[in-house]
Chains A and B, each alone.
Chain A
Amino acid sequence: MTWLLRRLVQALFIVLAMTIIVFVGVNVIGDPVDVLIPPDADQAERARAMVALGLDKPLWEQYLRFLLGVLQGDLGRSFVYNEPALQLIGSRLPATMELAVTAVLLSIVVGIPLGMFAGLKPDSWLARAIMAGSILGFSLPTFWVGLMLIMVFAVQLGWLPSTGRGETAALFGVQWSFLTRDGLAHMILPALNLALGNIALVLRLTRAGVREHLQLEYVKFARAKGLSPARVLFVHVMKNIMIPIVTVIGLEFGSVIAFAVVTETVFAWPGMGKLIIDSINVLDRPVIVAYLMVIVFLFVAINLLVDLLYTVLDPRVRLETRE
């Protein structure tokens, strides 16, 4: 339990550090007047607003104010949408989340079987092709792969739509694409695009794990017990290698959300990634700040969760942390 406490404090500390970085970035490196006052305000309005916003106060006081804002969920209003920035981000969050979750699921569903095959039959041509493909999956720029997907599947073949979320349906008062056929069709290409790097990653981890573990004595012992190859592979080996894989996938979830920025731009997917790019382009800085704070928070939360999950999954760690 002290472990959990320590981990929580650590997470809090990182969030705090990030608020300082964001604050310094916006108020010291950038021009805070731009952040808080619409770009089209005239000179007199600006001066008035500066006093009203406390920009004449010392920096530490401004920071405390900012921090207070963060705590209260008040990060200013978007100039463009004239909405609270946080609320705006929140309204786009579901689109990004469903895309990211689908991408992660895809990387598991595709990556693990391919990786298992490549690990079981490393010398077959198919395994070699898979491995070569995974190198491409790592090194190709996401946006370029996205363009190619559009070119092939949307423009040339005309099989799948390439822009937007398509039809959505409500669940818990939020609109989701995955609930409709049309929405799902719209999700395939962007999710695949977003998943590509992770498919490669999961595939390689699985392959390496399978190859390593098949050599281990416990596998030979399991076979010597008369177990079927399927049980040896799917229970004995998989249970072992799923621990690092789940950990990595969990940690990568944050990256997926971050890289959604690219995919959402390519596929005009109206999530928070697209929002942040648009906001940077029109200098809608309250939204930028809100996005950064949300994503930092997501990141820290995910890392924490993965750590917890890891202790649940691995009996060896479980024991150590209990003591």
Chain B
Amino acid sequence: MSATVPLKEETPFRRFVWEFSSSSLAVAGFLTAVVITLMALLAPILAPQNPYDLVHLDIMDGRLPPGSESMSGMTFWLGTDDQGRDMLSGIMYGLRISLGVGVGSAVIAGLIGSALGLIAAYLGGKTETAIMRLVDLQLSFPSILVALMILAFLGKGVMNVMLALVIVEWARYARTARSAALVERRREYMEAAACLALPRWRLLFRHLLPNCLPPLIVIGTIQIARAITLEATLSFLGLGVPITEPSLGLLIANGYQYMLSGKYWISFYPGIALLVTIVAINLMGDQLRDVLNPRLQK
């Protein structure tokens, strides 16, 4: 695969794009992710209905199957929930919350975790031991349990869920950043930079960080998918976001009670949206891992 060389003059970015698109699955994942993101961002414009605006909801439209028409003549392509909310609109708004929480927590955790990982690698000694012990301890407990514990202490709410996700996720970034930094630290340019007597923090952030970025991006992508899954799970369990701002997980939970009576769509379509999102991100992540981090291949 890598033996063939693109014809155009090769910039690292071109090369990256070219290698990334060598997997059609990954490209499909990327395009899907773009569409989903746009849907979430543009929900207020694209959605047929504002699902939070109770004025527009008619309880008479409750639990209509997909394709039904509302009292006011609008078509519910994906049916309605128990309050007569258009599922399509609900899903688009739900995506906003799910993506927002997932991406937001992944980014914050990424910043904190990478910083701690770099510091551990750079300072070494007791600091490193302390940080990595904490990482090990954290990672030896499953994410759901840690999140559960935190939410049990703090209670529900978007902010608390984000906090829980950050606490769950930072450790993986820290581990990745540290191991990447340990490899990079031995490289020549680090020694050269050290010889030039650049200040420590500069060495750390201007030189180490950029070279540790590829593995962090790979982990970050996968962590976004994990965060979205975990948020959905917590919300499904009733421990996540509040009912006023339903994410996909909560939408699914709301429809759950009707599923046994055959009204599958209230849970099913948000579930499909969740699924497509997670799979799309994972497909991207897989290919990114192959392209950005040849060391991890195989």
Contact = CB atoms under 8 A, between A and B. Distances in A.
Do A and B touch (CB < 8 Å)? yes
Interface of A: 14, 17, 21-22, 25-26, 29-30, 135-136, 139-144, 147-148, 150-151, 154-155, 162, 254-255, 258-259, 261-262, 265-266, 276-277, 280-281, 285, 288, 292, 295, 299, 303
24 contacts: A17-B137, A22-B149, A29-B153, A29-B154, A135-B282, A139-B229, A139-B278, A139-B282, A140-B278, A141-B233, A143-B232, A143-B236, A150-B260, A151-B259, A151-B268, A162-B260, A258-B142, A258-B145, A258-B148, A266-B256, A277-B239, A280-B239, A288-B152, A295-B145
Contacts of A21: 149
Nearest to B148: A261
Nearest to B146: A258
B95 to A, nearest CB: 15
- On chain B, which size bracket covers the interface? 35 or more
A17 B275 CA distance: 37
B77 interface: no
B239 A144 contact: no
A64 to B, nearest CB: 21
B60 to A, nearest CB: 26
Is chain A's interface secondary structure helix, strand, loop, or mixed overall? helix
B48 interface: no
Contacts of B260: 150, 154-155, 162
B136 to A, nearest CB: 10
A144 B259 CA distance: 12
B154 to A, nearest CB: 7
Nearest to B151: A280
Contacts of A265: 236-237
Nearest to A139: B282
A281 B233 CA distance: 15
Contact of A30 (B153, B237, B268): B153
B241 interface: no
A65 B279 CA distance: 48
Contact of A277 (B140, B238, B249): B238
Contacts of A154: 260
B252 interface: yes
Interface of B: 137, 140-142, 144-145, 148-154, 225, 229, 232-233, 236-239, 249, 252, 256, 259-260, 262, 264, 267-268, 271, 274-275, 278-279, 282
B148 A26 contact: no
Given A140-B278, A143-B233, A143-B236, A150 B252 contact: no
- The listed residue with most B CB atoms (<10 A of its CB), out of A29, A140, A144, A154, is A144
A288 to B, nearest CB: 5
Contacts of A140: 275, 278
B153 A261 contact: no
B237 A141 contact: no
B135 to A, nearest CB: 14
A280 B152 contact: yes
A186 B152 CA distance: 30
B142 A254 contact: yes
B153 A155 contact: no
Contacts of B148: 258, 261, 276, 280
Contacts of B249: 141, 143
Contacts of A25: 149-150, 152-153
B267 A155 contact: no
B144 A262 contact: yes
- The listed residue with most A CB atoms (<10 A of its CB), out of B149, B153, B238, is B153
Contacts of B225: 139
A288 B148 CA distance: 10
Nearest to A30: B153
Contacts of B275: 140-141, 144
Nearest to B239: A280
A209 to B, nearest CB: 14
A281 B237 CA distance: 9
